[in-house]
Structure 1
Amino acid sequence: MIVYFSATGNSKYAAERIADALGDRAVSIEEKCYDITLKEDECLGIVTPTHWWALPIPVRAFLRNLKLHRRGSHYIFVASTYGTTPGCSAEETRHILREKGIRLSAAYNIKMPDNWTVTFDLSDPEKVAKQNEKAEVNIDRTIAMILHKKKGNFTRLRTPYAIYPLTDRVFAKVRSTKNLTVDDNCNGCGLCAKKCPVNAIKMRDGKPVWVRDRCALCFRCLHHCPQFAIQFRKGATKKHGQYTNPNVKV
C-alpha cells in the first residue's frame, strides 16, 4: 500500500505514479487507514510533502496512530516531495516509526513546485510546467530504486534532525490561523471548510471562519479557493498565484 497526504496534488501524483509502477494502490491518509497489514514481500510507502523542513501535521498524526501488522519480509519507505529541501522529514519519519518498533527501509525525496507562495512565485505557467517536467524525471528515478528495493537514506539537501525542535517551535507560531484572511471575493462556496484536513474552518453567515488557533498550514484552502479569496499575512501570497498539480483532478 502507498499512503499519502497532499494539499495541492504533488504528493498525490507521486504516490499514484509509484503505486502504478508497483501494481499497488495509493490511499490518502485522510481516509484514516491506520490499521494496515503487510503480507510477505509487500511494501508500505509513505509519500508526504515537506512542511517547514519536517513532516506535515496530518502525517505526524497518521504515523503516530498507525497500527502495522506484518508477516514475513517487507519494504517500508518514505518519499518526501519538496521545493527547496526535504529538511529532516525522512529522519522524523524514522524516529516516529522506530518508537513503534517499525524499521524504515529507505528514504527518498522528489523535487516539485513549492506551494509556499509566501516566498515562491508560481504565477508563471511556463516556469511551473518546466518544474513539473523535471519532477517526472525525479519520480522515475525514485520508482526505479523502489522497484529494486534499495535500502538506505537517499535524500538530498536534507537538514540535521537536531534542528527539528527549533524549526517546529517556529512553525507552531507561523501556523497561527490569525495569519490567514479571507477577502470580499469570497462567494461562500464552503470548499475550504469541506476540504480542510484538520477541520480548522467552519462556515458562518456564508463566510469561512477559522475556529482553531492553529492549523496544518498546508495552503490547501488558499490554492483551491475558486475565487482566490484566502490569503496569508494580509496578502503576502496574492502576487505569487495559486497552484495545483496539473496531473491531478481537483
Structure 2
Amino acid sequence: MIVYFSATGNSKYAAERIASALNEKAMSIEEGCYDITLEDGECFGIVTPTHWWALPIPMREYLQKLRLHRHGKHYVFIASTYGTTVGCSGEEARHLLRDNGIHLSAVYSIKMPDNWTVTFNLSNKEKVARQNEAAEKNINKTIAKILDRKKGCFITMRTPYAFHKYTDKVFAKVRMTKNLYVENSCNGCGLCAAKCPVKAIEIKDGKPVWVKERCALCFRCLHHCPQFAIQFWNGATKKHGQYTNPNVKIIE
C-alpha cells in the first residue's frame, strides 16, 4: 500500500505512479487508514509534500497514529516531494516511525513545482509544464530504485534534523489563520470548508471563516478556489497564480 497527503496534487500523482508500478493501492491519509496489515514481502510507502523544511501537519499527525501489523519482512519507504529542499522531512519521518517500532528501508526525494506562491511564481504555464516534465523523470528514477528495493537515503538538498525545532517555531506563526483573507470575488461555494484537511474553515453568512487559530497552511483552499478569492497576507499569492498538478484531480 502507498499512503499520501496532497494539497495540490503533486504527492497524489507521485503516489499513484509509484503504486501503479508496484501493483499496489494508493490511499490518502485523509481516509483514516491508521491500522494497516502487511503480509510477508509487501511494500509500504509514504508520499508526502515538504512544508517549511519539514513534514506537513496532517502527515506528522498521521505518522504519530500509524500502526503497522506485520507478518514477515517488508520494504518500507518514504518519498518527499519538494520545490527547493526536502529539509528534514525524511529524517523527521524516520524518527516518528521509529517511535512506533517502524523502521524505514529507504528515503527518497522527488523535485516538483512548489505551490508556495507567496514566494514562487507559477503564473507562467509553460515554465510550470517544463517543471512537471522534469518531475516525470524524477518519479521514474525513484520508481526504479523502489522496484529494486534499494536501501538507504536517496534524497538531495536536506537540512539537519535539529533544524526543525527552529522552523517549527517560525511556521507556527506563519500558519496562523489571521494571515489568510477572502476577497470580495468569493461566491460562497463552500469548497474550501468542505476540503480543508484540518477543518479550519466554516461557511458563515455565505463566506468562508477560519475557526481555528492555526491551520496546516497547505494552500489547498487557495489553489482550488474557483474564484481565486483566498489570498495570503501581503497579496503576493495573487500575482503568482494558482497551481494544481495537471495529471490528477485532487478535489472531487
Which category of TM-score, normalised to the shorter sequence, fits these structures? Answer: over 0.9
**Per-residue deviation, 1:202:** 0.2
Within-5 A mapping of 1:1-250: 1-250=1-250
Q: How high is the sequence identity, in percent, across the aligned residues? A: 74
The whole-number CA distance in structure 2 between the counterparts of 1:219 and 1:210 is 13
2 CA distance for matches of 1:134 and 1:80?
16
CA shift for structure 1 position 236: 2.0
Larger displacement relative to structure 2 (157-166 or 10-19): 157-166
Once residues 105 and 171 of structure 2 are traced to their aligned partners in structure 1, the CA distance between those partners, rounded to angstroms, is 28
Post-superposition CA distance 1:74-106 (Å, at most 9, x none): 010000000000000000000001111111110
Deviation at 1:249, TM superposition (A): 1.9
Amino acid at match of 2:204: R
Distance 2:67 2:24 in 1: 19
**Cα deviation 1:126-167 (Å, max 9, x = unaligned):** 000000000000000000000000000111010111111000
TM-score of the aligned structures, taking structure 1 as reference length: 0.99
Residue 237 of structure 1 aligns to a residue in which SS? helix
The alpha-carbon deviation at position 235 of structure 1 amounts to 1.4
Matching residue's letter, 2:243 = Y
Q: CA RMSD in A?
A: 0.5
Counterparts of 1:212 and 1:234, CA distance in 2: 20
Q: Structure 2-normalised TM-score?
A: 0.98
Q: Within 2, Cα distance between the matches of 1:40 and 1:22? A: 15
* Counterpart Cα distance in 2 of 1:144 and 1:9: 22
For 2:62 and 2:229, the matched residues in 1 are separated by 30
Structure 2 gaps of 5+ residues are none
- Counterpart-to-counterpart distance in 2, 1:164 and 1:228: 31
- Separation (CA, whole Å) in 1 of partners of 2:50 and 2:141: 19
Question: 1:162-195: per-residue Cα shift (whole Å, max 9, x none)?
Answer: 1110001100110100000001000000000000
Unmatched 5+ stretches in structure 1: none
Opposite residue 227 of structure 1, the aligned amino acid is Q
Query: Which amino acid in the other structure matches residue 175 of structure 1?
Result: R
* Structure 1 segments (4+ residues) deviating >2 Å: none
Deviation at 1:232, TM superposition (A): 0.2
